[in-house]
């Protein structure tokens, strides 16, 4: 029996995915629930498991965009399972030359097909004139159409000519000048689209402040070893302190924990904190849900779980759905100061940065302390200056007085020691 395997729906809002990598080859025997492909959606990379055991026939190529519900492969359940681990290789070995022969035949013909396309058409009044679609692409690339050799009828510049056109890089003076053109993953394209949308569709402003990290460092230095030993290897990092400080500030300034929905403002009585992390497939923003009800241990454990899933490519759409406020930490890469971009439809994002010892005035004296610049980007359509500045000051206060404001004057109880 031949089973048609269709692309399952990764989430409610996703209608299309992209075949990132086939993990099996055409004609391989696959076991039920074996991962046969990695597919990119606009939110995450997911594995596609085989629905039954049998011989697989691929119906889509890597890089193809396929609709949810579209057939991407066939599995012949009557196909014989190879015996032993070495059997499949032995059985496929004599078939390999046949596959190569089949592949070699069209390869010999390909240059013949390409030759007439590569050769410029005879000059005519249309030579060098771009089609409307080609003109739009060339204008976006800031390339003069007269510098592009047209391969269309009469020398007309086609859309393909415009897509393949490369802006001049100046006169070569020697050395390696290679380049590579690769298609962005669906996830990266969606991230790019959302970032541009956030810049164009929100009244985004950024306000800054600085935080003396000495009090947080003192708490961490005193309790981090006991915390790690008590909680099964979960470390006491900075993120739990920042998340706690953000939760407190959002409760004091609830407008920052709201979003625009047309002509309405949607306010939330819970805090779902999105944590921006860098994964192998690009920027991902998993969500720590109901952070207002989590302890330091709960926050650290959840962030660690989500970070591992993102790093290993196992993050799911549900892990990244929702969120009412975002925290991003450019400091791990050495950033001193930045203006983070809002993660729509949220209205605010807090940017953390690197910690550098700097001289500051303390009670009329110059002292050196570990300092961090923090930035809040916010949507001015819904958040006024008073709320934005007050929110950031509240974050600063929580971090500079964590024992009183974040731990209720009982660090051991707050850290569950």
**Dist CA 207 CA 219 (whole Å):** 28
First-to-final CA distance of the chain:
60
Question: Catalytic pick from 33, 139, 144, 380?
Answer: 380
What beta strand segments (E) does 23-131 contain?
A: 29-30, 35-40, 45-49, 54-58, 65-67, 71-76
- Which of 246, 238, 197, 189 is CA-nearest to residue 215? 238
The reply to whether 384 belongs to the active site is yes
Residues with Cβ within 8 Å of residue 386, at least 6 apart in sequence: none
**Residue that has been written with the tokens 């460092």 in this structure:** 217
What's the distance, CA 370 to chain centroid?
A: 31
The reply to whether 379 belongs to the active site is no
**Dist CA 217 CA 38 (whole Å):** 42
DSSP 212-260: E-HHHHHHHHHHHHHHHHHTTT----HHHHHHHHHHHHHHH-GGGGEEE
**Dist CA 331 CA 328 (whole Å):** 9
- Which of 299, 212, 198, 214 is CA-nearest to residue 248? 299
3-state secondary structure of 278: strand
> Please, what is the angle between helix 238-252 and helix 296-311, to 10°?
110
Question: Catalytic pick from 312, 318, 384, 408?
Answer: 384
**Dist CA 396 CA 212 (whole Å):** 8
Could you list the active site residues?
380, 384
């Amino acid at each position: 029996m031949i089973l048609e395997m269709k692309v399952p729906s990764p989430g409610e809002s996703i209608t299309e995915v992209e075949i990132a990598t086939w993990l099996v080859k055409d004609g391989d025997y696959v076991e039920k629930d074996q991962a046969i492909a990695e597919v990119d959606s606009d939110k995450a990379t997911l594995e596609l498991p085989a629905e039954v055991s049998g011989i697989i026939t691929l119906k889509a190529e890597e890089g193809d965009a396929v609709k949810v519900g579209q057939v991407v492969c066939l599995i012949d359940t009557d196909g014989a399972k190879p015996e032993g681990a070495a059997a499949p290789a032995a059985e496929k070995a004599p078939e390999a030359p046949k596959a190569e022969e089949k592949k070699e035949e069209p390869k010999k013909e390909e240059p013949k097909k390409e030759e007439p396309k590569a050769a410029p058409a005879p000059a005519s009044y249309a030579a060098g004139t771009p089609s409307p679609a080609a003109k739009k692409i060339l204008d976006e690339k800031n390339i003069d159409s007269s510098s592009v050799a047209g391969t269309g009828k009469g020398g007309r510049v086609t859309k393909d000519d415009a897509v393949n056109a490369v802006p001049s890089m100046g006169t070569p003076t020697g050395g390696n000048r290679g380049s590579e053109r690769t298609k962005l993953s669906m996830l990266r394209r969606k991230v790019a689209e959302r970032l541009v949308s956030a810049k164009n569709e929100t009244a985004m402003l950024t306000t800054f402040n600085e935080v003396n990290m000495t009090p947080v460092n003192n708490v961490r230095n005193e309790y981090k070893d006991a915390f790690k030993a008590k909680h099964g290897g979960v470390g006491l990092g900075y993120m739990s302190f920042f998340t706690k400080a953000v939760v407190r500030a959002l409760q004091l300034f609830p407008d920052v924990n709201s979003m625009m929905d047309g002509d309405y403002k949607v306010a939330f009585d819970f805090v779902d904190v999105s944590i921006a992390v860098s994964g192998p497939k690009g920027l991902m923003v998993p969500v720590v849900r109901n952070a207002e009800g989590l302890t330091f241990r709960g926050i650290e454990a959840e962030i660690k779980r989500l970070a591992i899933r993102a790093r290993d490519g196992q993050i799911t759409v549900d892990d990244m759905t929702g969120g009412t406020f975002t925290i991003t930490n450019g400091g791990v890469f050495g950033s001193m100061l930045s203006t983070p971009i809002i993660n729509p439809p949220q209205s605010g994002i807090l940017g953390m940065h690197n910690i550098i010892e700097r001289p500051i005035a303390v009670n009329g004296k110059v002292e050196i302390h570990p300092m961090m610049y923090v930035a809040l980007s916010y949507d001015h359509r819904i958040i006024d200056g008073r709320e934005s500045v007050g929110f950031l000051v509240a974050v600063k206060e929580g971090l500079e007085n964590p024992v009183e404001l974040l731990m209720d004057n009982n660090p051991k109880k707050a850290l569950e020691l």
